Structure 1
Amino acid sequence: MAPAITLAADAPTLSSANTGFMLICSALVMLMTPGLAFFYGGMVRVKSTLNMLMMSFISLGIVTVLWVLYGFSLAFGADSGSLIGWNSDWVGLSNIGLTQLWDGYTIPVFVFCVFQLMFAIITPALISGALADRVKFSAWALFITLWVTIVYFPVAHWVWGSGGWAFELGVIDFAGGTAVHINAGAAALGVILVIGRRVGFKKDPMRPHSLPLVMLGAGLLWFGWFGFNAGSWLGNDDGVGALMFVNTQVATAAAMLAWLAYEKIRHGAFTTLGAASGAVAGLVAITPSGGAVSPLGAIAVGAIAGVLCAMAVGLKYRFNYDDSLDVVGVHLVGGVAGSLLIGFFATGKGQSDAQGLFYGGGLDQFWKQCAGVFAVLGYSLVASAVLAFLLDRTIGMRVPEDDEVSGIDSAEHAETAYDFSGAGGGAARSTAAPAPAPVAGAAAKKVDA
């Protein structure tokens, strides 16, 4: 993310081109949350499809309101102790001039605000994939509210806010390797360690019910990620945003190929789920590093992350934690890999003059990256586990076991994703249609949920 600094001379003026570019990027990042909903929705069983979609969509509502009320102020307001920001003029987004520029840049504060809002929205939505099939929707909504307030807003200030400790230390995170992906992945691990495994974990088949939906979601994520990454330079006057755009494509392609190669060697097949997951792993890994590495470095970052993430997704069976849709294996591991590899592949010719080990810079940047990575990982893991524990002991985080087995869609939303009877998906509207005629043969068999 481009640093928020005030230039003493050559005061910037409003750029219509950069403003328009950033609004488009903001819309692309917004599209990523519905894309994530499809990606996750296709990976679960039929009986959990709508719940998975809703766990992403509700973030669009909750986080938007919180961001307007106080989130933007906490994340990007004046620094307090290098840990949190605050600007009372930004509460409710009041007292911000329509043409008031974001510090040192050529875009209005409102444009920067809405761009960052889209990051805040998708981050808790990422966590939801680890909790599939078993969490009360009301508890999830309350968890999002508390989590973004206690975890995301402070971490965003550490990494991107002027005066934040990681920002001042020189930790490189172009677009969210620490603040978004490690943050979400560590939170997912913390929560699942508290709420436990799904009924039938490692016993019942829990295959994706719709791989076409998964591929659609992955495609939307890939498309939106160009706004996520290239937009994080807040303009492209010096070509760094263009470099990030190129590296986003390159690393994603390399990671997808590396995942598929590992999968073929390890399991004997090239799967569509592997292609989609590999692409996302590459997107995650290049997010922090793409402004600091060359396109050849992006190939290395993507390939390394693709293999590491492919290996990591199987760890849940070895260590017996139920990361339903591999949020830990892809987002946590991919975020850590991409962030730490900056310490090796940074060229000093992109977003900063910091050089990695392979370009003569020694290990100085690597140790800075370690500080940022493990501080965010530790804080998010512990804080998220505590929040989940408190919610579980008060209102309860999990649905009853009978509801989990029969289907969380019906229990929590009174709807089903697919109409197999002709009566309609919504339970409240099903009485309007006549009862379907009896069906014989294979068509009468109950669909595997």
Structure 2
Amino acid sequence: MSFAAQGIDTGDTAWLLAATALVLLMTPGLALFYGGMVRTKSVLNMLMMSFVSIALVTVVWLAAGYSLAFGDDTFGGLIGNLKHAGMSGLGPDSVHGTVPTLLFATFQLTFAIITAALISGAIADRAKFGAWLVFVPVWALLVYVPVAHWVWGPGGWVLDKLGALDFAGGLPVEITSGASGLALALVLGPRLGFKKDAMRPHNLPMVVLGAGLLWFGWFGFNAGSALGANGLAAAAFLNTLAAGCTGLLGWLFVEQKRDGHPTTLGAASGAVAGLVAITPSCGSVSLLGALVVGLAAGVVCSYAVGWKFRLNYDDSLDVVGVHLVGGVIGTLLIGVFAVKEMTGGSEGLLYGGGLAQLGKQLVAVVAVGAYAFLVTYGIGKLIDKVMGFRADEEHEHTGLDLTVHAETAYDHGVLGHGAPVGASSVPSAQKVKSQA
């Protein structure tokens, strides 16, 4: 029997195959985005934290994550079952809607991967790589998987019982990663020299390249969440583009007004902030709503990234200021700008829906944010107690590239940390490894 005869739509399948590849590309894009934002001495470590997340989350997802997230509900809307552990029973003939179930599972896997990788930005420059290898799979199973079930899984309480809306991941991806990043930043403490030393991005062209790849992949992230080549996907695609643009412009406006200079880092960060905020709402709001959502995120997040200096938490690469704050903005504004033409029924405050939907969105934001923060804090504390999560002070000062990976990103070694131009770093790396 042909796949088409079994209910698989070839057009929807082709689009979702492409969207899955686009979303997977976002993690290497994130690696470049984060890698350019750190100092020279730890850029490879930052890249590795993203890339290794691809492998770690994939293994966990195939073993149990997918089944627990998207299996039939077993406990009051909180978690699925293990019927499909190890992808059991999901052959090429299995169908989810109009696409193969294996493709749907892979598409959802790419979301889980980048969510874990996002957290690394909050603890850049100071985390033990071995501790990260332990943290990622545990976190994926205990935090991401349950939240994904709540929001998207069959019988999940956020969607089925509460009625909150989230089209492409404001709750499971953005708010979860942001709240988790804050928790880990508190567990590890601030970097050496925080609020004293200049910690500027070492390679802004790399940051912009990473932001561009993220923006490109985000079309798969958001439009792909329609799970079909249809009008809803087209609307989500356009909303994604629009919000990224107004986010960029909003951030630059704040920089110009506040600092007198619109910066390259601000443009990249503003675009990402707009894309973060439109993620939950791209399938719920009109084009006008998308423009406002992006603008609001660009303006608010540009201020939010400075909160860490006032509140004394070291969120190295602004995961809290962009992803948590942007995710909250986009998720809440569904309750203001949702239109029934997009949602199929639910309307926001400005379109006659009253405060009901806004209240549902608020409950979901608080519940998911609190759960992610508390569980991540517990995981981080446990790992820190058992094996230590914070890198040794000497390693942090020298740079994690040389001390952990025995490599440097550039031929001239680690700028400002010992090796003269042209000197070989191999002896130093061997010495560090022998002492470890």
When normalised by structure 1's length, the TM-score is 0.91
2:241 aligned counterpart, secondary structure: helix
Aligned to 1:78: 72
Aligned to 1:159: 151
Q: Distance in 1 between matches of 2:279 and 2:396?
A: 35
Whichever residue aligns with residue 296 of structure 1, its letter is: L
What is the aligned-residue identity percentage?
Answer: 57
Whichever residue aligns with residue 313 of structure 2, its letter is: Y
Alignment of 1:8-407 (within 5 A): 13-80=7-74, 81-88=76-83, 90-102=84-96, 105-168=97-160, 169-237=162-230, 239-407=231-399
Whichever residue aligns with residue 243 of structure 2, its letter is: A
Whichever residue aligns with residue 156 of structure 1, its letter is: A
Number of residue pairs aligned between Structure 1 and Structure 2: 417
Q: Distance in 2 between matches of 1:426 and 1:108?
A: 49
Q: Distance in 1 between matches of 2:88 and 2:170?
A: 30
Mean Cα deviation higher: 250-259 or 349-358: 349-358
* CA distances 1:387-442 after superposition (whole Å, capped 9, x unpaired): 11111111000111111011111111111111115577777999xxxxxxxxxxxx
C-alpha displacement at 1:280, in angstroms?
Answer: 0.3
* CA distances 1:326-347 after superposition (whole Å, capped 9, x unpaired): 0000000000000000110011
1:78 aligned counterpart, secondary structure: coil
Contact kept? 2:252, 2:270, Cα under 8 Å: yes
Q: Distance in 2 between matches of 1:69 and 1:423?
A: 46
Q: Distance in 2 between matches of 1:230 and 1:426?
A: 47
2:80 aligned counterpart, secondary structure: strand
For structure 1, list consecutive stretches of 5 or more residues without a partner in the other structure.
Answer: 1-10, 431-449
Q: Distance in 2 between matches of 1:242 and 1:270?
A: 32
Q: Distance in 1 between matches of 2:425 and 2:267?
A: 31
After superposition, the Cα gap between the structure-2 partners of 1:314 and 1:91, relative to the gap in structure 1 and judged at 3 Å, is same
Q: Distance in 1 between matches of 2:41 and 2:356?
A: 50
Q: Distance in 2 between matches of 1:400 and 1:111?
A: 42
**C-alpha RMSD of the superposition:** 1.6
C-alpha displacement at 1:87, in angstroms?
Answer: 3.6
C-alpha displacement at 1:305, in angstroms?
Answer: 0.8
Q: Distance in 1 between matches of 2:43 and 2:219?
A: 27
Contact kept? 1:417, 1:425, Cα under 8 Å: no
Contact kept? 2:407, 2:429, Cα under 8 Å: no
* CA distances 1:86-137 after superposition (whole Å, capped 9, x unpaired): 142x1111221212111xx110100100000000100010000010110000
Whichever residue aligns with residue 82 of structure 1, its letter is: G
Contact kept? 1:59, 1:124, Cα under 8 Å: yes
Whichever residue aligns with residue 333 of structure 1, its letter is: V
* CA distances 1:42-98 after superposition (whole Å, capped 9, x unpaired): 00000010010001001000001111110100100010121000142x111122121
2:410 is the alignment partner of 1:418:
yes
Q: Distance in 2 between matches of 1:188 and 1:29?
A: 21
Q: Distance in 2 between matches of 1:264 and 1:352?
A: 40
Q: Distance in 2 between matches of 1:233 and 1:241?
A: 5
Contact kept? 2:242, 2:291, Cα under 8 Å: yes
Which portions of structure 1, spanning 4 or more consecutive aligned residues, are displaced by more than 2 angstroms?
421-430
After superposition, the Cα gap between the structure-2 partners of 1:156 and 1:424, relative to the gap in structure 1 and judged at 3 Å, is farther
Contact kept? 1:414, 1:427, Cα under 8 Å: no
Q: Distance in 2 between matches of 1:286 and 1:163?
A: 25
C-alpha displacement at 1:236, in angstroms?
Answer: 2.9
Whichever residue aligns with residue 202 of structure 2, its letter is: H
C-alpha displacement at 1:351, in angstroms?
Answer: 3.1
After superposition, the Cα gap between the structure-2 partners of 1:177 and 1:427, relative to the gap in structure 1 and judged at 3 Å, is farther
Whichever residue aligns with residue 225 of structure 1, its letter is: W
Q: Distance in 1 between matches of 2:8 and 2:104?
A: 13
* CA distances 1:222-254 after superposition (whole Å, capped 9, x unpaired): 0000000000010033x1111000000001000
Contact kept? 1:418, 1:425, Cα under 8 Å: no
When normalised by structure 2's length, the TM-score is 0.93
Q: Distance in 1 between matches of 2:50 and 2:170?
A: 20
Q: Distance in 2 between matches of 1:315 and 1:429?
A: 37
For structure 2, list consecutive stretches of 5 or more residues without a partner in the other structure.
Answer: 413-420, 431-436
Q: Distance in 2 between matches of 1:425 and 1:150?
A: 40
C-alpha displacement at 1:290, in angstroms?
Answer: 0.9
Contact kept? 2:11, 2:229, Cα under 8 Å: no
